[in-house]
Amino acid sequence: MEKEKFELEFPLRASPKMLFPFLSTPSGLSEWFCDDVNSRTELFTFFWDGSEEQAILLKKKQDALVRFRWVEDDEEGLDTYFEFKIQVDDLTKDTSIIVTDFAEPDEIEEAKLLWDSQIHELQHIIGA
């Protein structure tokens, strides 16, 4: 089944410089995204309650963007990814994280709720 792309925007009171390590480093990601993360160069292994998923780091732009692809999707030849983009409004200087992800059509609402809960955890940790 084809996966559909969706985007979510979350305003955060934090600078891109402060936010970026939480989105791009194993130690930062393990504070809010999952229980633990190991990385070997571009391969990241995420651990949750006894299960693990691997993702490939596709793109990284300092203080701006991180994009991963699940190894499982890669093996299935799917052109999917999940991405964190840090966006700063030119006028208000407000910072947001734009989360882009893919899910099967009947799982999109559930995926959105999961991201909502994950980013809420991130907001809590950084005090934003």
Residue 55 is inside which H or E element, if any? strand 51-61
The pLDDT tens digits of the residues spanning 56-80 come to 999 999 999 999 999 999 999 999 9
pLDDT recorded at residue 85: 98
Please count the helices (runs of H) and the strands (runs of E) in the chain.
4, 7
What's the CA gap between 77 and 105, in Å, rounded?
Answer: 18
The pLDDT tens digits of the residues spanning 8-32 come to 999 998 999 999 999 999 999 999 9
Q: Please answer whether residues 37 and 23 qualify as being in contact, where contact means their C-beta atoms are separated by less than 8 angstroms.
A: no
Query: What are the sequence ranges of the domains in the chain?
Result: 4-126
Mean pLDDT score, 77-84 = 96
Q: Topology of 4-126 in CATH? A: Alpha-D-Glucose-1,6-Bisphosphate; Chain A, domain 4 (3.30.530)
